[in-house]
A and B are shown apart, each in its own frame.
Chain A
């Protein structure tokens, strides 16, 4: 990958609400070039989407996040993919990863209440054919998410004028 694309991605990974003109200035290229590169990367699915990082805790809206370890029996010819698909098709599932180590799939999901998540795990996940075990971990607090630290930033500590 060329440097420009890399720099664009590095910037947008942290700041998807990008002002094309501004980004072009900062990278020292013209706006059209940046726009074309981004459009190309969208087409190639290098850029897969634009999301917003929300601290739901601050909204007062009840929600529960959980990480679920899932052990499965891989299927002949399909490996883990078919089972992963059956899991990731659920809207409440945010992420599914194939993991090395003591279990196979790591599922990240969100529900309104503990009960709703538990229900999903026991009724939906566990009953899928090929799933042989689950372990659910409820997230108590998010300190850092998507590279962003969720606690308030510290105030400016530098002296206002220094040589």
Chain B
């Protein structure tokens, strides 16, 4: 029999998270700080709207690009938040989570051998999606010393005449790093100079704790070179609803709608109606969640300082990314021992790229009680490691 599988797909490395997930699942009563989704239930208004639309029998396909009302609300939301105006009819696509938008955008923009710059550590999907789109992923390892921000020096090292797309994953999962307007400006200049396009994954845009989120699309001359990806999973605590969106130049969005139409048809109708309610009436709920994350973030950093665990102060998402380099062991080994000896699960930084070595991703999408218990255990563990030396 012939091999049923595509070589390209088989050669894609499985996610490093998966292996760790299996380990943690086998461990009873482990406290996990490994979750990449909010601990809050979706605000009740949104859930109630979902129930209401089901009762009304709104169970049919929507237009491929998404409900007109939702697209209009998305555009007015983006105008309020990032101060960029998009046309809901021609420049907006509602997708199945932000993940679909990443996949479809790369498929629409890449020809074989086109290079995609991927700053790491980052979310696990960009690299395989670039490969699936026949592109060539080029990893840019970000530096702890720069608080894992992307700089022009980094870009200069990895750009080539074949580079077409730059992924901008900020606020960043797993580091929690954000890019301010001042950080973005030189990057934008570089992008224009080298005639690149940007895929700006802003799924954590609601969760910044120092200054308002700034989108690279809002900088001069960048709107026409940027696809903004966002969604409802993180800020609105709607992971399971699978709803995201992207906005960008008409020429690109038009092709994306075509692909989305053939592969997906449309995003879940029920989720789309619920999301309209979220955009219209849930600013308060979103703000309250943000405040709560910020309190936990401060608590975590304070505890790290107390146990003298080195960590830069991250101002976005719901992750901290402490360094464990002083212990002279790999992130994976550290995470494994922490899991077995103290029953606390954290994700090794290497799950998000090789340059995550020496770091851990710790999520604070947990109740304060859980965080306290987990940090106490982490504290014992670190003390023991220091005593071993």
Binding site for B on A (CB under 8 A): 7, 11, 22, 25-28, 158-163
Would you call A26 and B34 a contact (CB within 8 A)?
A: no
CB contacts under 8 Å to A, within B14-56, are 15, 17, 20-21, 24-25, 30, 32, 34-37, 39
Would you call A160 and B36 a contact (CB within 8 A)?
A: no
A49 to B103, CA, bound (A): 55
19 examples of A-B residue contacts, CB within 8 angstroms: A11-B295, A22-B299, A25-B298, A25-B299, A26-B296, A26-B298, A26-B299, A27-B295, A158-B37, A160-B25, A160-B34, A160-B345, A161-B32, A161-B35, A161-B347, A162-B21, A162-B36, A163-B17, A163-B173
A7 to B291, CA, bound (A): 9
Would you call A28 and B17 a contact (CB within 8 A)?
A: no
B124 within 8 A of A: yes
Which of B35, B295, B298 meets A162, CB within 8 Å? B35
A162 to B319, CA, bound (A): 13
Q: Which residues of B lie under 8 Å from residue A160 when comparing CB positions?
A: 21, 24-25, 30, 32, 34-35, 345
Would you call B20 and A161 a contact (CB within 8 A)?
A: yes
Q: Which residues of B lie under 8 Å from residue A161 when comparing CB positions?
A: 17, 20-21, 24, 32, 34-35, 345, 347
Binding site for A on B (CB under 8 A): 15, 17, 20-21, 24-25, 30, 32, 34-37, 39, 123-125, 173, 291, 295-296, 298-299, 302, 345, 347, 351
Nearest A residue to B305, CB-CB:
A25
A-B pairs with lowest CB-CB distance, top 7: A26-B295, A161-B34, A160-B32, A161-B21, A25-B302, A162-B36, A160-B24
Number of residue pairs A-B, CB distance < 8 angstroms: 49
Would you call B17 and A162 a contact (CB within 8 A)?
A: yes
A26 to B291, CA, bound (A): 10
Q: Which residues of B lie under 8 Å from residue A7 when comparing CB positions?
A: 291
A10 to chain B, nearest CB (A): 8
Q: Which residues of A lie under 8 Å from residue B15 when comparing CB positions?
A: 163
Q: Which residues of B lie under 8 Å from residue A158 when comparing CB positions?
A: 35, 37, 39
**Assuming A7-B291, A158-B39, what are 16 further A-B pairs, CB within 8 angstroms?**
A26-B295, A27-B295, A158-B37, A159-B35, A160-B21, A160-B32, A160-B34, A161-B17, A161-B24, A161-B35, A162-B34, A162-B35, A162-B36, A163-B36, A163-B125, A163-B173
A160 to B18, CA, bound (A): 11
Q: Which residues of A lie under 8 Å from residue B32 when comparing CB positions?
A: 160-161
A161 to B124, CA, bound (A): 13
Q: Which residues of B lie under 8 Å from residue A26 when comparing CB positions?
A: 295-296, 298-299
B124 to chain A, nearest CB (A): 5
Q: Which residues of B lie under 8 Å from residue A163 when comparing CB positions?
A: 15, 17, 36, 123-125, 173, 351
Would you call B37 and A162 a contact (CB within 8 A)?
A: yes
Q: Which residues of A lie under 8 Å from residue B34 when comparing CB positions?
A: 160-162
A162 to B296, CA, bound (A): 20
Would you call B298 and A28 a contact (CB within 8 A)?
A: yes
Q: Which residues of B lie under 8 Å from residue A159 when comparing CB positions?
A: 21, 35
Q: Which residues of A lie under 8 Å from residue B173 when comparing CB positions?
A: 163
A159 to B363, CA, bound (A): 13
Q: Which residues of B lie under 8 Å from residue A162 when comparing CB positions?
A: 17, 21, 34-37
B14 to chain A, nearest CB (A): 12
Q: Which residues of B lie under 8 Å from residue A27 when comparing CB positions?
A: 295, 298
B253 to chain A, nearest CB (A): 26
A25 to B17, CA, bound (A): 32
A28 to B294, CA, bound (A): 9
A28 to B345, CA, bound (A): 27
A146 to B298, CA, bound (A): 27
A25 to B291, CA, bound (A): 13
B143 to chain A, nearest CB (A): 22
